[in-house]
Amino acid sequence: MSCLQHPWKSWRHIVKLDPDRPIQDKDLIRLGDSGTDAILIGGTQGITYQKTFDLFARLQRFIPHLPLWQEISELSAILPESDGYAIPVVLNTGHVNWIIGHQKAAIEQFGELIPWEKLVVEGYVILNENSAVAKLTGAKVPNHARGTVAYAQTAERIFGMDLIYLEYSGSYGNPQWVQAVRDKTNAHLVYGGGIDSADKAVEMASIADTIVVGNALYEKGIAVVEETAAAVHSINKKRTK
């Protein structure tokens, strides 16, 4: 995968929508005008085909101009119409299923049907030990920046991944840790977790290549997406590496 270009390279701000959480039509319309670069459909719990299909159909109706990607956590919820599929590989899981088991099972099941050109592999490091995803995957959360960097380097150097996703899931992360990863990898760096203001969006987007707004949208309303997208696109990207 590491030789490929993919559309994430140009995305600075994306919104993660959870099929298991409600969102109104008027908010979807505002989302489409918010300036975010893409929609990633995905969640940890309660993901079904029907819920995913329903959300996707509404997105296609109200904001067809934005890329609509799925982050795959449940094989039965895969939609053929998606623009692309993000395949999470949980680098710091405690169980082989989350690093290779589910992926291998999917390849064994679908084989020739897999549209490889629409796949992007996400090398996840889960950094909030109290999050649902940390519990589900038995994540071993590093207790220093160096351990986090080592996971990212392993992903890039050993597993040839060109996208690293630092997932603070529901909590705002430590910018110094994100910067430490930035300094030691050339992979496309995605940050997610706790972005609920323009200031936080600017702080993390100044370090990472892409920031993800998720929970805050449901908890604080669609204005968070508008504010953070505007803030991210107003800054010049300051990459130290």
List residues forming the annotated binding site for Mg(2+). Answer: 18, 44
Alpha carbon distance 14, 145 (integer Å): 25
Options 23-31, 93-101, 190-198, 208-216: segment touching a copy of itself (CB under 8 A): 93-101
The size of the interface with a copy of itself (CB under 8 A), counted in residues, is 33
**Using the rule CB under 8 A, is 103 a contact of a copy of itself?**
yes
Question: Could you tell me where the DSSP H helices lie in 139-236?
Answer: 145-157, 175-184, 198-205, 215-220, 223-234
Q: Is 99 in the site for a copy of itself (CB under 8 A)?
A: yes
- Under 8 Å between Cβ of 49 and 80: no
- Joined together, the tokens standing for residue 81 give 């119409």
Q: Judged by CB under 8 A, which of 7, 94, 115, 221 binds a copy of itself?
A: 94
CB of 171 to a copy of itself, least distance (A): 23
Q: Which stretch binds a copy of itself (CB under 8 A): 12-20, 28-36, 147-155, 168-176?
A: 147-155
> In whole angstroms, what separates CA 147 from the centre of its chain?
21
User: What H or E segment, with its residue span, contains residue 132?
Assistant: helix 132-137
Asked if 146 interacts with a copy of itself (CB under 8 A), we say yes
Note whether 46 binds a copy of itself by CB under 8 A: no
Contact between 104 and a copy of itself by CB under 8 A: the answer reads: yes
Q: Which of 47, 55, 89, 166 forms a contact with a copy of itself (CB under 8 A)?
A: 89
Interaction of residue 100 with a copy of itself, rule CB under 8 A: yes
Angle at 104 between CA 103 and CA 109, to 5 degrees: 100
Told to check if 113 binds a copy of itself by CB under 8 A, we report: no
d(CA 59, CA 205): 25
Contact segment (CB under 8 A) with a copy of itself among 39-47, 55-63, 87-95, 203-211 equals: 87-95
Binding residue for a copy of itself, selected from 5, 22, 113, 158, defined by CB under 8 A: 158
Closest approach, Cβ 210 to a copy of itself, in A, equals 20
Name every residue whose Cβ is closer than 8 Å to that of residue 57 and which is 6 or more positions away in sequence: none
CA–CA distance, 16 with 203 (Å, rounded to integer): 19
The enclosing H or E element of 71 equals: strand 68-71
Nearest distance, CB of residue 2 and a copy of itself, angstroms = 5
Cα–Cα distance for residue pair 131/124, rounded to 1 Å? 14
Residue 96 contacts a copy of itself per CB under 8 A: yes
Per-residue CA distances from 33 to 71, 117, 197, 232 (Å): 22, 28, 18, 15
Structure tokens at 98: 């989350």
Interface residues with a copy of itself (CB under 8 A) are 1-3, 87, 89, 91, 93-96, 99-100, 103-105, 107-108, 111, 116, 119, 121, 146-147, 149-151, 153-154, 157-161
